Each structure stands twice: as C-alpha cells, then as structure tokens.
Structure 1
Amino acid sequence: MKHLLPTVAVLSLAVPALAQEATPPPSPGEIAAAAPARDWVAIAPSDLLVMDLAPDAKSRPRRVVIQLMPAPFSQGWIGNVRKLAAAHWWDGTSVNRVQDNYVAQWGDATEKKPLPQGLAALSEDAYSLALDGITYWENPKTNAMRLKAVWLSPEAFEGGPIIRDDSYADAGMFWKGWPVAMAGDAKADEIFDRGKYVWPVHCYGMVGVGRNMSPDTGSGAELYAVIGHAPRHLDRNIAVVGRVVSGIEYLSSLPRGTEELGFYKTEAERTPIGSIRIASDLPAAEQPRFEYLSTESDSFARYADARANRRDPFFIKPAGGADICNIPVPVRPVVAK
C-alpha cells in the first residue's frame, strides 16, 4: 500500500497562533469547554460500573464510576465483570492493595469467595487484536492524520488523531474516546505496509484485570486502577477493561500498603466495598450520567494539538509533542435538567 506521511510528528493538528492575535491562545481546557454539544458523546449507563466504597472517616460517601471498554476490546473479561456485578459478588470485598505511583487493587482478600458460574476463561491472544486493510487520510481542516482499518473478524475500525512517536508501540491513536496503540510483529521505521495489532493502553485511571503468573489471564474478579505514572510496560500483558471517569481521588488518596507490592497486612487497613453495580441496574434517579469529547471531532483535534503544543500564556516553550497518556480524553458529568 503506497501512501505519504508528513516528515514532522503526526500530532501537529492545528494552525499555529498568529503573533498578532489580540487574545491569547486558548488552553486545552478552554477548547474542550467551548466544544459544541454535537461534539460530545453520551456514555450509556449500561457501560458504567458504579463502585461505592465505605464512607470515609467523616462519613462522606465515596463513589467511583468506571466506564467499560466498548467492543471489540477485552469483551470476554468485560462479560465476566458484568456477571460479577449482577451477582453482587464484590459486595463486602475490599481494596486490598495500594502501591505508590502504581495501582489500587480490589477484590476478595481471602481468595476463597466462590465465583459465579459461567465466567469465561480467556487466552493471552485477546490482549490485542489483529488488523488488516489499513488506509490513512488527513483532515484538511486540522491536518490531523486519521486511520481506517478492518479487523480480521472483520469489523470496521476508524481512529485518530495518530501519534507517530510512542516508546511502547509503533504509533498511538484515539478510538471512540479511548487511547490505543498499534504495532506490527516487530517495530520498524516503516510500519504502515505490514500487519498490525492494536490494544488499549495503560494510562492514568485505566482499569485492568489482576492475574497470577502466565498462562493465567485473570477472571475479572480482581481489578485495579492505575493511580501513578502510566505503566505502559503492562500493555499486552494484562487485560484493560475500562477507565475511571469519576472518583479516582478516592482510590489514589488511600494509604499505601506496607507489605510487598503495596498489599495491606491486616483487614483493618483495607477499605471495604459496599457494592459494585452496572449503572443501568440502579434506580433511574441514581444512575450517573457522563459524556466524552468525541475523538473524531475537530474540537478534539484542536484540544490534542493544544496539549502537545501549549501556547496559552503560562507556557514559554511548546513541547512540540505529547505522550498519548498526556492527552486525557475530556469526560464530564451530564447535569439533569
């Protein structure tokens, strides 16, 4: 397949601000806030996992809301998560591990609680997905490089903007509001004419499946959230099933475990879990509502460019690029009318 790629980093998405502008260039947050309603995508309550921790020392509630990944990524594990939530399996379990600059992990500390029947056993091949038939094009309005591909399944796949420079993959990109990475069987300077694999990446707030040594891949009963610098070395080694869209502070601020890998030594140190439910199983009035900025929109292209090239007044020298995890997709609550 013949194609042309720009000689500069692909993530150069908007026209530089003119020196003569009367007003300073907007910050990334201002760009997201100004995005029109049509650029925001509602997250279905059926795709939200609601975890209510025990109240804090001042009796204040602590709710963590997790968005589950859409198909086709990690669907076997996500199916298990849905079954576990429907069975109320996590009720009465706890946050068992908090490792500084790494993860907060929850599940059954005794490892003796029986699991629901019918949970799927997944292979390591499901950590990433194969692609074929890849083409590329540029958005003439923003110069953002985008991608269209076909799963070997097959199923249409479109994503972008593409970030060419990635230490853990041949390229990174955004797909339906999620950061993902892609690579061939081996890294090379020219990747675009070879077979591809694509997978979700471990950014801050992402939720993955705890497991034992390979070939175990975990059932989904043990989950963790990233609370530190993006541990991208876990990509394609553990299943990613979602991301925290609200309440990450209730996990990241917990006391660090004193045992190896941040596990708590005693039951008193653990944070109890009151319940975990799929949001659509809650009464309508209690269902949280969120929406994300469409990563296919021109607003997101401008936002991503502003994250990579800070031109707002505080910054002196734009970086000229950004790690994919330093471009968090804006998510906001939907206020009931």
Structure 2
Amino acid sequence: MIRLLSSALLTTIPTFAAIAADAPLPTTPSAVVSAAPAQAWRVIADEDLLVMTVADGKRVVIQIAPAFAPRHVANIRALASAHWWDGTSINRVQDNYVVQWGDATEKKPLPGGLTPTTSADYVRPLTNVRLAITPFPYADPYAPATGFVDGWPMAMDGDAAWLPHCYGYVGVGRNMAPDAGTGAELYTVIGQPPRQLDRNIAVVGRVIEGMANLSSLPRGSGDLGFYTAGERKVPIVSVRLASDLPAADRPHFQVMDVASPSFAAYLKLRANRKDDFYIRPAGGVDLCNAPVPIRATPPVKARR
C-alpha cells in the first residue's frame, strides 16, 4: 500500500530546528539546503555509488537506483565488480543531448550471469513502491502525476512509475526494441531534459559528482555526436562500486529526505523565488528543475 504524504508539506515553509527562533527564514533554495538540520539528510549506501575514473584521473560519481531499475542495476553492479568498463571509452558527446560510454568495438565479452532485460524494466509497478510518495504539486507535460520517493523524482501514470530523463541522469543505451540494453552501454543527459525518452529507455541513476568532467568534453563530429576515427575517444580508466573500494578511497554522500520540512521549504522556494534578485515569482517549477539536494560528506570516523 502506498502512503501519500500530506500536500500541506508543499504549501508552507516550516520552521527549521537549525535556525534560531529570532533568525529570518531562508529566502533562497541554497539557503534552505545550508540550514537543513542533520535529520533532514539520508546517507547514500556505498553499494549504490558507482565511481568512474576517466582520463587524467578525473572522477565521476553516479548514484544508481536499484528500487527503480532492479535488473539493470544488478547488471551494472556485476559489470563494475568484473572491472568490465576498465579500458573502454567515452564514445559519444552530442551537444545539448548526451554523453555515452562503453565498448566502442561492441566486441568485448560481457561477464557471465547478467540478467536479461525487457521494455517492462523501463517502469516499476506502483504496488512495488513501498516507500511514501511526496507529491509534486505542479503539472507535468509528460506524466499525469509526479512526486518524490526516497530521494528520487518520479513520474506516474496509472499503476506505473518511472525515473525521468533530467539533466545528469543516467540511462542504458540499447538497440531497436525489443532490446532493452544490458547496462554495459550508459549515457548521461547533458542538455535540455529529453523527457520524450521516458519509458522508452531505462533510467538507472544520476551523476552526483564530476558532471563537468562529462559535459565539458569536446563534441563528436560524427552522426549523433559519436567520435569519428580521427577524434580521440576519452579513455575510461576504471569503474568501481564504492563498496568495492578501500574504505579510505570511498566517496560519501547524503541526499535530502524528501519527506522533511527542509525539502518542503526548498521545493516551495524553487517555484516561488522572491528574494533580492527576483522580481516576479514563477509560481511553478518543472520536475527536472527541482533537483533533490545531495551533498558530499566526510567519512565517519570509527570509534575507538
């Protein structure tokens, strides 16, 4: 059974425990994020972080979403554990669209044990969404209903739910249907959110660190932005699950709790800016322009 949170959370700015009673409430989304108390944040598990190192030691960290794409994510974890992406490359950079990576030869053997996927894996039955949904109160042109679940934006239609193609979100490349991709060929959105791809390709995660290391790459001159023979593909040095890295090398991140008063205040201000800079509040915001805040955190020191 899905429990919907009260929409009142989205219509009032709550008082923050971290702000003194006589201090003014934050007037910008970034101020809300800075003032959010510790209880407004949730730790992202190590096994849900994919750490990709590209040329010159640059790092990209991807949060994967097993609750929304379980079979694709299981394959991605298996590929990372097998070090399959090591020595592959970024092969496509299409302006205002995507950066794509994988095996340019399409001949590298895949590790055993990968799970077959189908177009049914592009969505999740709402009956499988066991967590509370924080509703999004603004109309969406691509879905009858939208909201947030466990730190992720979600679009819904009847009994199905899916992750949207927002900036920085990661999808699985595929050939023509019924092929749904293994997870070996991945891409991330680097432009206007191509929401027309929703439910046509599996979205499996989002880049949460190092996005500039992808979006700033030279654009490919071939069809669809693929690098041609005369252009240098960007080498991928390694891809690892954070849980497979030595403890000292693991990145640590937290995502804002979408059921928290802090997120309600943040969401209201994303739609209704009226601070010193803004003249007219927009009165609304689209799903991809209200990214759930994520922050890097130092590792927790073990107690002696």
Question: Does the TM-score normalized on the shorter chain lie above 0.5?
Answer: yes
Residue of structure 1 in register with 2:64 after alignment: 68
Could you tell me which residue of structure 2 aligns to residue 14 of structure 1?
Answer: 12
Distance 1:267 1:94, change over 3 A: farther
Aligned pairs for 1:122-137 (under 5 A) are 122-131=117-126
2:239 paired residue number:
276
Report if the CA contact (8 A) 1:98-1:254 is conserved.
Answer: yes
Alignment RMSD: 2.1
Partner secondary structure for residue 214 of structure 2: helix
The aligned amino acid for 1:335 is: P
Matches of 1:12 and 1:46 in 2, distance apart? 31
- Counterpart of 2:145 (choices 150, 153, 171) is 171
The sequence identity of aligned pairs, in percent, is 55
Report if aligned partners of 1:208, 1:242 keep a CA contact under 8 Å in 2: yes
Q: C-alpha distance in 2, partners of 1:280/1:15?
A: 37
More helix by share: 2
- Structure 2: state its 5+ residue gaps: 1-5, 15-21
**Amino acid across the alignment from 1:124:** S
Q: Who is 1:159 aligned against?
A: 133
The structure richer in strand per residue is: 1
Of 258, 271, 279 in structure 2, the residue corresponding to residue 316 of structure 1 is: 279
Query: How do residues 1-337 of structure 1 correspond to structure 2 at under 5 angstroms?
Result: 13-14=11-12, 26-55=27-56, 61-71=57-67, 73-131=68-126, 151=127, 153=128, 156-184=130-158, 196-266=159-229, 268-336=231-299
Q: Secondary structure at the match of 1:104?
A: strand
CA distance in 2, matches of 1:298, 1:70: 26
Distance 1:11 1:95, change over 3 A: farther
The answer as to whether partners of 1:105 and 1:222 remain within 8 angstroms in 2 is yes
CA distance 1:78–1:70, shift in 2 (3 Å): closer
Whether contact under 8 Å (2:69, 2:203) holds in the other structure is yes
SS at match of 2:132: strand
Q: Distance in 1 between matches of 2:8 and 2:160?
A: 19
Deviations 1:189-244 (A, max 9, x none): xxxxxxx2111111111001000011110000000011111111111010111100
Task: Encode CA deviations 1:91-145: one digit per residue, 9 max, x unaligned.
Answer: 00000000001110000001011111111111111211223xxxxxxxxxxxxxx
Code of the residue aligned with 1:234 in structure 2: it is: L
Aligned-pair distance for 1:157?
Answer: 3.2
Contact map agreement 1:84 1:90 (CA 8 A) in 2: yes
- Please report how far the alpha carbon of residue 24 of structure 1 lies from its aligned counterpart in structure 2 after TM superposition: 8.0
Partners of 1:205 and 1:284 lie apart in 2 by 26
Query: Are the counterparts in 1 of residues 138 and 286 from structure 2 also a CA contact under 8 Å?
Result: no
For the residues of structure 2 that align with 1:218 and 1:117, how far apart are their CA atoms? 15
Question: Which residue of the partner structure matches residue 58 of structure 1?
Answer: none
**Residues 138 and 285, structure 2, Cα contact 8 Å, conserved in 1:** no
Comparing 205-214 and 261-270, the one that deviates more: 261-270
* Alignment length (residue pairs): 288
Report the TM-score when normalising by structure 1: 0.81
Against the structure 1 CA distance between its residues 282 and 313, is the aligned structure 2 distance closer, same or farther, given a 3 Å change threshold?
same
1:24 and 1:315 map into 2 onto residues whose CA distance is 17
Contact 2:131 2:150 in 1 (8 A): no
